[in-house]
Structure 1
Amino acid sequence: MNEPTAVRRRQGRGARERILRAATELFTAQGINATGIEQLSTVAEVSKRTLYQHFRSKDELVVAYLRSLDDAPQPVAPEQPTLAAASPREQLLAVFDWKPAETMAPFRGCPFLNVSVEVPDPGHPAHELAAAKKKRCARRLADIARQAGVADPETLGEQLALLFDGAAARGLALNNRHVMAYARSIAETLVDAALADAGRGSP
């Protein structure tokens, strides 16, 4: 059977980018497991054959989707130019100023957490990538805490990373985009206590 003209016309240059855009849109809106290859190819305006030419499996597409997110600016990325001149304290708290786009769609929380739930096998490449991202975020926060001079930067980094992930998960459960404001107030308490201890010379 001949493919629809619209699909056949869009199979050339840019197909990979359209597939990734479709994956980002659909995986974000409805999750990985609820998104099928047929829907992906329809939204990307490519045939399934073309999709498989670029991505040998759905698993490979999921990994590419996560890598594309990893390359984009993320909430835990204090090295961004807008924060380059901020104090370490401001950089740590800026993590909780993340404001997801206001849409009518349900709040989906953190895509890396979502993937780790939908792909529970810790040995799966997508799960490994999500876990690695979470570890890097905690290390980045610890690096900033170290710059601030706190006595135990690794602990503060893990605490803030846990606080962020917990808020993202609660926001997903409650379909609430504003939970980060509460998390930020807790973060202020943690950060200021650590800075105060550093100022008193606590070990």
Structure 2
Amino acid sequence: MLAAANSLFATKGITATTMEDIAARAPVSKRTLYAHFPAKEDLVLAHLDHVVQAGYSVLAVLTREDLTPRERVLAMFDVQPWPDGSVRGCPFIHAAVEQPDPDGRVHSFAREQKLAMLTMVTSLISEMGVDPAEPLAEQLVTLADGAASRAMVLNDPEYGRHARAAAEILIEQARSPAPPAPGEPGEGDDRRPR
């Protein structure tokens, strides 16, 4: 049942997929489907939880121990196409758009995943020696979400390269020491007070 829901939600969308569609694809009776998932919202939440647990979201790459913090952050911009070659974008953004009530369980789950993403990226940015880390982390997760959305609309799995290039510049600027302000003595400047 969950496999059928995962496939249909990804290809048709949450709103356009009915419980009857899922029962037919599973195949199970509607009675059996409703015995396991009393409401469609329960099935949507199970679908989103499956996305997280199976490592099908950007959150998975942010926890990879085989990559450096910088590599993990930049890997957010590698858009992975689905087996059929299409680009689906972020399942949490899709769910939040289709279930727009900010107090609803589906929208709340999507928000929690986006906040978890921000927390992970903030921690990785901090490990890179950037202080404060939060402003850069906010910029990078916004860039990643935008890239995923554009990649989906354009059906271009390579689209993330544009956001990755921008992210590399932002990271390097944040890690570089700030130049002295105009009129302030700089390193090696003979005008420094003695």
Instruction: Give me the TM-score of the superposition, normalised by structure 2.
Output: 0.85
Q: What displacement does 1:101 show? A: 2.8
Q: Which residue does the alignment assign to 1:31?
A: 13
Q: Which residue does the alignment assign to 2:98?
A: 118
Q: Which residue does the alignment assign to 2:154?
A: 174
Higher CA-based Rg: 2
Would the aligned equivalents of 2:23 and 2:29 in 1 still touch at CA under 8 Å? yes
Q: What displacement does 1:56 show? A: 0.2
* C-alpha distance in structure 2 between counterparts of 1:30 and 1:160, whole Å: 29
* C-alpha distance in structure 1 between counterparts of 2:21 and 2:83, whole Å: 25
Q: Is 1:40 matched up with 2:22?
A: yes
| One-letter amino acid of the counterpart of residue 92, structure 1 | V
Q: What displacement does 1:26 show? A: 0.4
| Higher alpha-carbon deviation: 86-95 or 149-158 | 86-95
SS in 1 for 2:148: helix
Would the aligned equivalents of 1:75 and 1:98 in 2 still touch at CA under 8 Å? no
Unmatched runs of 5 consecutive residues or more in structure 1? 1-18
Match of 2:171 among 180, 191, 196: 191
Would the aligned equivalents of 2:79 and 2:151 in 1 still touch at CA under 8 Å? no
- Would you say how many aligned residue pairs link Structure 1 and Structure 2? 178
Residues 14-54 of structure 1, C-alpha deviations (whole Å, 9 max, x = no match): xxxxx111111000111001101111001111000000000
* C-alpha distance in structure 2 between counterparts of 1:124 and 1:185, whole Å: 36
* C-alpha distance in structure 2 between counterparts of 1:34 and 1:161, whole Å: 28
Residues 34-93 of structure 1, C-alpha deviations (whole Å, 9 max, x = no match): 10111100111100000000000111111111111121213233222xxx2433222211
Q: Is the helix fraction higher in 1 or 2?
A: 1
CA RMSD of aligned residues (A): 1.8
Q: Is 1:103 matched up with 2:84?
A: yes
Q: Quick one: structure 1 residues 116 and 197, their matched pair in 2 at CA, closer, same or farther if it must change by over 3 Å?
A: farther
Q: What displacement does 1:194 show? A: 1.1
Match of 1:134 among 114, 119, 134: 114
Q: Which residue does the alignment assign to 1:76?
A: 59
Q: Which residue does the alignment assign to 1:64?
A: 46
Unmatched runs of 5 consecutive residues or more in structure 2? 180-194
* C-alpha distance in structure 2 between counterparts of 1:163 and 1:155, whole Å: 12
Q: What displacement does 1:98 show? A: 3.6
Aligned residues: percent identity?
A: 40
SS in 2 for 1:64: helix
Q: Quick one: structure 1 residues 35 and 85, their matched pair in 2 at CA, closer, same or farther if it must change by over 3 Å?
A: closer
Instruction: Give me the TM-score of the superposition, normalised by structure 1.
Output: 0.82
* C-alpha distance in structure 2 between counterparts of 1:43 and 1:102, whole Å: 18
SS in 2 for 1:197: coil
